[in-house]
């Protein structure tokens, strides 16, 4: 199965038994404390999340796969410079940054297509057994990172993301739940936690969202910009910086993403999957503030950026524009003028107008 996954282009794959999570108490405590913010779906499906056999009755095994979407230390603000300079675009506009995983093709499509091919092959081979399969890429209440770790695809770092010892953490996960018994020698493949005494991600997080092995989603810029649909607490406006979709800081500072060739267990070099080659690193903030729904659809087509609505993107762009003005990347007068226009525009949704008003007030105080 693992060889077949490699042939399908996955950077890494593994198999584990479909057993309940070892973190049920932690999950329940995290949900009970409200740290999942407005991601109600996490609480709604909590009972399923703790046991994959409730997601697919009779499930006995899980095949987990990982795609590498970014080579270690080769782009962005990490050790080597980005191919596209963030901050200012070619036309002199101010760019709002998007998270690396969202810069290329939609990973849901890229991964799901190949997992269905894998399931079809297994189904054909074991048709007589009446085996069942359920493919998932963020699409089922399954604790993907934990199962990936149990499959030997890495350990869960202090920032709560999966880190593969040779690939780093710029990976996207997916899997197949099946009633087949693939009899994996799971524990033998468990990867040792290599975080050690390091606290780089904790120290670098702009909103102090991380405590060891724990993230308060309500403070995390990824949650605030991609998941949260309401207003963003002004407490976080400055920390958001130029990010309008997600945040990569805790991964950029991680030593396990340092420049080094990614390789497989045999030392063979692994390249980032070209399907994720960046189409762009960001969007012009003033252009986003002018978008209509058809502009958002066109710009986001084929990418995982689709998760953010037009209102969310404009809200995020208003915050980033204020930060750009405060940092001297755009003339404060130009930013204030644009924000003022939004506050008076009755066609704009209330969240966008209120956000612009608050950003404007803060700029005018400075």
Catalytic positions: 138
d(Cα 38, Cα 48) in Å, to the nearest integer? 19
Least distance between ligand SF4 and beta carbon 37 (Å):
12
Binding mask 182-211 for ligand SF4 (x = CB under 6 A): -------------x--xxxx---xxx-xx-
Kindly indicate which of the ranges 18-26, 64-72, 213-221, 346-354 contains the residues binding ligand SF4, using the contact rule CB under 6 A. 213-221
Using CB atoms within 10 Å of the CB of residue 41, give its burial: 0 to 12 exposed, 13 to 18 middle, 19+ buried.
Answer: exposed
Q: Is 158 in the site for ligand SF4 (CB under 6 A)?
A: yes
Q: Is 220 in the site for ligand SF4 (CB under 6 A)?
A: yes
Least distance between ligand SF4 and beta carbon 215 (Å):
5
d(Cα 118, Cα 122) in Å, to the nearest integer? 6
Q: In what order do the strands lie in the sheet with 171-178?
A: 12-17, 61-68, 171-178, 133-136
Least distance between ligand SF4 and beta carbon 248 (Å):
7
Q: Is 157 in the site for ligand SF4 (CB under 6 A)?
A: yes
Question: 105 vs 159, which CB is nearer to ligand SF4?
Answer: 159
Question: 104 vs 157, which CB is nearer to ligand SF4?
Answer: 157
Using CB atoms within 10 Å of the CB of residue 33, give its burial: 0 to 12 exposed, 13 to 18 middle, 19+ buried.
Answer: exposed
Residue for token digits 């400075």? Answer: 366
Counting DSSP H helices and E strands in the chain, the numbers are 16, 11
- The token pair at 226 is 């991609």
d(Cα 39, Cα 43) in Å, to the nearest integer? 8
Judged by CB under 6 A, which of 2, 95, 232, 249 binds ligand SF4? Answer: 249
Question: 153 vs 220, which CB is nearer to ligand SF4?
Answer: 220
Least distance between ligand SF4 and beta carbon 145 (Å):
12
The sign of the torsion formed by the CA atoms of 133, 266, 189, 163 equals negative
d(Cα 52, Cα 143) in Å, to the nearest integer? 8
Q: Which residue number has the CB closest to ligand SF4?
A: 157
Count of residues that bind ligand SF4 according to CB under 6 A: 24
Q: Is 95 in the site for ligand SF4 (CB under 6 A)?
A: no
Q: Is 148 in the site for ligand SF4 (CB under 6 A)?
A: no
Q: Is 102 in the site for ligand SF4 (CB under 6 A)?
A: no
Least distance between ligand SF4 and beta carbon 157 (Å):
3
d(Cα 105, Cα 296) in Å, to the nearest integer? 16
Question: 191 vs 201, which CB is nearer to ligand SF4?
Answer: 201
d(Cα 282, Cα 273) in Å, to the nearest integer? 20
Interface with ligand SF4 (CB under 6 A) = 157-159, 195, 198-201, 205-207, 209-210, 215, 220-222, 247, 249-250, 253-256
């Amino acid at each position: 199965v693992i060889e077949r996954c490699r042939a399908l282009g996955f950077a890494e794959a593994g198999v584990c038994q479909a057993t309940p999570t070892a973190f049920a108490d932690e999950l329940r405590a995290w949900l009970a404390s409200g740290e999942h913010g407005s991601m109600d779906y996490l609480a709604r499906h909590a009972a399923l999340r703790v046991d994959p056999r409730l997601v697919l009755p009779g499930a006995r095994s899980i095949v987990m796969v990982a795609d590498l979407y970014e080579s270690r230390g080769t782009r962005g603000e990490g050790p080597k410079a980005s191919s596209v300079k963030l901050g200012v675009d070619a036309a002199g506009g101010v760019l709002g940054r998007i998270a690396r995983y969202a810069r290329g093709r939609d990973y849901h499509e890229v991964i799901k297509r190949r997992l269905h091919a894998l399931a079809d092959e297994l189904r054909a081979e074991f048709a007589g057994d009446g085996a069942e399969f359920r493919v998932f890429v963020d699409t089922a209440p399954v604790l993907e990172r934990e199962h990936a770790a149990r499959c030997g695809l890495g350990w869960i770092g202090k920032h709560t993301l999966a880190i593969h010892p040779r690939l780093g953490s710029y990976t996207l996960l997916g899997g197949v739940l099946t009633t087949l018994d693939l009899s994996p020698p799971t524990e033998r493949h468990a990867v040792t936690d290599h975080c050690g005494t390091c606290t780089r991600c904790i120290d670098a997080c702009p909103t102090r969202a991380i405590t060891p092995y724990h993230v308060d989603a309500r403070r995390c810029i990824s949650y605030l910009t991609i998941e949260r649909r309401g207003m963003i607490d002004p407490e976080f406006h400055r920390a958001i910086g130029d990010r309008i979709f997600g945040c990569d800081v805790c991964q950029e500072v991680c030593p396990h993403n340092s420049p080094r060739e990614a390789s497989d267990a045999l030392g063979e070099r692994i390249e980032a999957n070209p399907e994720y080659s960046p189409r762009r690193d960001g969007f012009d903030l003033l252009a986003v503030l002018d978008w209509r729904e058809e502009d958002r659809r066109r710009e986001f087509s084929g990418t995982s950026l689709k998760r953010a609505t037009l209102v969310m993107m404009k809200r995020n762009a208003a915050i980033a524009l204020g930060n750009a003005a405060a940092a001297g990347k755009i003339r404060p007068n130009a930013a204030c003028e644009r924000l003022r226009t939004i506050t008076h525009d009755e066609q704009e949704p209330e969240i966008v107008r209120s956000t612009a008003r608050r950003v404007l007030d803060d700029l005018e105080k400075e």
